Amino acid sequence: GRKRPAIPIRYYAVMVTMFFTVSVVNNYALNLNIAMPLHMIFRSGSLIANMILGIIILKKRYSIFKYT
């Protein structure tokens, strides 16, 4: 009585690996002499990266409101 996943586990594994890598790199960047506002701008870019990965890997579509 179990339903098979609609999205293969390997796609989740790729996204989790990429998320972990980005998080580690973001935390490592705090050890460098980078201005905090610049670091915050780069860190906020992860939302855009997640949306792009969702479009490419998971074939998601978002409304215009979410893109803006």
Q: Using alpha carbons, select from 53, 45, 62, 61 the residue that is nearest to residue 11.
A: 53
Specify the pLDDT at position 17: 92
pLDDT, one tens digit per residue, over 32-51 is 888 888 888 877 777 788 88
Question: What is the rounded CA–CA span in Å between residue 5 and residue 26?
Answer: 31
Question: What is the rounded CA–CA span in Å between residue 20 and residue 22?
Answer: 6
| pTM score above 0.85 | no
